[in-house]
Homo-oligomer: A and B are copies of this chain.
Amino acid sequence: MVVMEQNAQAPLYIKMDEADNVAVVANDGGLPAGTVFVSSLTLLEHVPQGHKVALGDLKKGDPILRYNEVIGYAAQDIKAGSWIEESLVKLPTAPELDELPLSNKVPQALAPLEGYTFEGYRNPDGSVSTKNLLGISTSVQCVAGVLNQAVKRIKAELLPNYPNVDDVVALNHGYGCGVAINAPEAVVPIRTIQNLATHPNFGGEVIVIGLGCEKLAPERVVPGCDKGDIICLQDHKGFDAMIQKILQEAKVRLERLNQRKRVTCPASELVIGLQCGGSDALSGVTANPAVGFAADLLVRAGATVIFSEVTEVRDAVHLLTPRVVSEEVGQALIREMKWYDRYLELGEVDRSANTTPGNKKGGLANIVEKAMGSIAKSGKSAIVGVLSPGEKVKQKGLIYAATPASDFVCGTCQLASGIHLQVFTTGRGTPYGLAMAPVIKVGTRNALKEQWPDLIDVNAGRIAAGEVTIEDVGWEIFRLILEVASGRKETWADHWGLHNDLCLFNPAPIT
């Protein structure tokens, strides 16, 4: 990356690669027509922050290069110094999945990073927790009303007696009945529910609330679980008996959870999820590369790092397949891309349906440009494994989990994959949070941190202003992960109690 001018007051644009014929304006508020850069380039018109300026004349049909990748083709002749507004960029076709290089540029392992630890809870199965939560799972939405009333009472009457327990989480969702449970794709929501129910932050404690006549039998939520872990509402005589039973079972588990104390655990036991939402053109310049640097630090420390979002990887997949450790992992990655291509096709759309008005306002012309920025989160390590949506992770190292890019659906899928904590980058800003794991929010722009000082945990916007480096912010994120995982620092989302709903990915029909 070449930051062309270092002074935040001066006009500033950012070119990601020497070969690029466009750069992105970094100044808050953009720059007016007539602005002259040190390079002698003069703006022909106002260019908003995060938006692209042509560094030289482009002829209609010329490739537009950012990150030294073709993010599109000029839809008309474009003069140097022009604002390359979205409509001037013709979308290229997506990389052909059957012609990708596989495992031909596997990055060498970076030097191990020894001695980093955090204070976590040790679970009976040997895994660790970053929070000490009582999770109450459900087999079907029908029970949500009763469970919500029970949780209100648990929080008011029981939880204050168990100060070592952080919270009680009701795992309500929209699945379980009125669904085609034997459809081929039903495996996705079912395994997601199953893996959420045994999330490591629940410390090995299980309760499943079922109704009794639903399609997803409560026994299927945690296969092999104790019968005593299941509460079927139809088996109880009236409302009060249901509530009493849930309170009684909660109490037993709160007693046990309350005995737990944080102990020193190696950083290698952490599973960290990475996501972006409300991206802008600075996402790929500031926040995502900084998170990518932190991802490399985590991998060097022996941890598991999960990045996701199929529609935001699809157009950059040719940059990922060379990095997979084996042909098998490469084929798995391609299989997931093909699955999603077909899923979108059945709905008569393609990956271009991903970009949002906010993305475009933030300077992202299309899904190709968005994808180039998105994959920066993955850092430079080898990709050692691929997960289908909602699958639990079982490996160390950098993993690709093929989830939708929808923030709340990706978050739900990554929780099912077993993340202890999520790092979430945002350009436009979102108050997103998860009840089951802390979310560290990294902003791409100084202006966002100014607007939301009490919602953005890390301001990567300082990178664009030349105040700090990607490496500085990467280390800051890495250290903050360990602090938050240890319960020593609280994320803003947790501080305000901002938690999104669980939103399952169900590609199968409902009935």
Interface residues of A (CB under 8 A from B): 141-146, 148-149, 172, 174, 177-185, 211-215, 217, 233-234, 237-240, 242, 277-278, 311, 343-344, 346-349, 351, 353-354, 356-359, 361-362, 404-410, 428-433, 451-455, 492-493, 496-501, 503, 505, 507-511
A-B contact list, 22 entries, CB within 8 Å? A141-B500, A142-B408, A142-B430, A145-B497, A149-B496, A149-B497, A174-B174, A177-B356, A178-B404, A183-B348, A184-B347, A211-B429, A213-B278, A213-B356, A213-B361, A214-B356, A234-B428, A239-B454, A347-B509, A349-B508, A349-B509, A353-B511
Which residue of the partner chain, among B242, B408, B451, contacts A237 with CB atoms under 8 Å? B451
A217, closest chain B residue (CB): B357
Q: How far is the CB of A150 from chain B (nearest CB, A)?
A: 11
Given contacts A213-B362, A346-B346, A347-B185, contact A452 B238 (CB under 8 A): yes
A234, closest chain B residue (CB): B429
What is the count of identical protomers in the complex? Answer: 2
Per the bound structure, the CA–CA distance linking A351 and B410 in Å amounts to 30
Given contacts A234-B429, A505-B510, A510-B404, contact A353 B181 (CB under 8 A): yes
Whether the Cβ atoms of A141 and B353 lie closer than 8 Å is: no
Per the bound structure, the CA–CA distance linking A144 and B408 in Å amounts to 10
Per the bound structure, the CA–CA distance linking A408 and B141 in Å amounts to 7
Contacts of A234 in B (CB 8 A): 428-429, 451
Contacts of A180 in B (CB 8 A): 344, 347, 349, 353
Given contacts A142-B277, A404-B178, A500-B145, contact A183 B347 (CB under 8 A): yes
Whether the Cβ atoms of A213 and B172 lie closer than 8 Å is: no
Whether the Cβ atoms of B144 and A500 lie closer than 8 Å is: yes
Q: How far is the CB of A233 from chain B (nearest CB, A)?
A: 6
Given contacts A145-B493, A180-B347, contact A278 B211 (CB under 8 A): yes
Per the bound structure, the CA–CA distance linking A410 and B351 in Å amounts to 30
Contacts of A311 in B (CB 8 A): 511
Per the bound structure, the CA–CA distance linking A303 and B339 in Å amounts to 48
A503, closest chain B residue (CB): B174
Contacts of A182 in B (CB 8 A): 349, 353
Q: How far is the CB of A180 from chain B (nearest CB, A)?
A: 4
Q: How far is the CB of A229 from chain B (nearest CB, A)?
A: 19
Main secondary structure of the interface of A (DSSP, over half): loop
Which 10 A/B pairs are nearest by Cβ-Cβ distance? A213-B358, A178-B406, A145-B498, A347-B509, A213-B428, A180-B353, A174-B503, A180-B349, A354-B511, A141-B408
Q: How far is the CB of A171 from chain B (nearest CB, A)?
A: 12
Whether the Cβ atoms of A509 and B353 lie closer than 8 Å is: yes
Per the bound structure, the CA–CA distance linking A172 and B497 in Å amounts to 16
Contacts of A498 in B (CB 8 A): 145-146, 149, 239
A426, closest chain B residue (CB): B213
Contacts of A179 in B (CB 8 A): 353, 406
Q: How far is the CB of A247 from chain B (nearest CB, A)?
A: 15
Q: How far is the CB of A282 from chain B (nearest CB, A)?
A: 14
Q: How far is the CB of A219 from chain B (nearest CB, A)?
A: 11
Contacts of A213 in B (CB 8 A): 278, 356-359, 361-362, 428-430
Whether the Cβ atoms of A144 and B239 lie closer than 8 Å is: no
Per the bound structure, the CA–CA distance linking A361 and B214 in Å amounts to 11
Per the bound structure, the CA–CA distance linking A214 and B361 in Å amounts to 11
Contacts of A143 in B (CB 8 A): 431
Per the bound structure, the CA–CA distance linking A238 and B492 in Å amounts to 11
Contacts of A174 in B (CB 8 A): 174, 408-409, 501, 503
Whether the Cβ atoms of A430 and B358 lie closer than 8 Å is: no
Q: How far is the CB of A188 from chain B (nearest CB, A)?
A: 12
Contacts of A408 in B (CB 8 A): 141-142, 174, 178
Contacts of A178 in B (CB 8 A): 404-410
Given contacts A237-B451, A405-B178, contact A145 B433 (CB under 8 A): yes
A498, closest chain B residue (CB): B145
A142, closest chain B residue (CB): B430
A434, closest chain B residue (CB): B145
Per the bound structure, the CA–CA distance linking A410 and B177 in Å amounts to 12
Per the bound structure, the CA–CA distance linking A348 and B238 in Å amounts to 39
Per the bound structure, the CA–CA distance linking A246 and B409 in Å amounts to 26
Which residue of the partner chain, among B141, B214, B351, B362, contacts A503 with CB atoms under 8 Å? B141
A453, closest chain B residue (CB): B238
Scoring A177, A182, A348, A410 by chain B CB atoms within 10 A of each residue's CB, the highest score goes to A177
Per the bound structure, the CA–CA distance linking A429 and B483 in Å amounts to 47
